[in-house]
Amino acid sequence: MRTLLIDDLRNLPADRVARTFDDGIAALQNEGPWDVLLLDHDYGDPDPAKCGEGIMKFLEVNPRLKPGMIKFVTANPVGRQRMNVIRKRLYPELMGD
């Protein structure tokens, strides 16, 4: 299983680690398909759209790039909730978090 981690700080087991929004988008576009996406919400970018929710919105517009599964690794409860709304649209069979 190929795993992509998009997170500015955490070190988790993954085949590829992207530390910024832009690097994460590039990994999704150019290095997929990914079986698992481990996704943080906050990347420390001054642009508020460059966050985990932005990654989820990108996947919603580009469903062909959707990983087999997305797991959230964020400590931001509001960001997690916003990302989960989109995840439920991407994976309608999903129940809970």
CATH number at residue 73: 3.40.50.2300
Strand, coil or helix: 4 = strand
Domain count, the chain: 1
pLDDT of residue 83: 98
Task: Give the domain range for residue 76.
Answer: 3-90
Degrees to nearest 5, angle at CA 87 with 86 and 88: 90
Give me the residues of the chain with pLDDT under 50, please: 97
Q: Which pLDDT score, from 0 to 100, does residue 82 have?
A: 97
95: in domain: no
pLDDT, residue 84, reads 96
CA dihedral over 39, 3, 61, 93, signed as positive or negative: negative
Q: What is the CA radius of gyration of the chain?
A: 12
Q: What are phi and psi of 48, to 5 degrees?
A: -65, -20
Provide the pLDDT for residue 93: 80
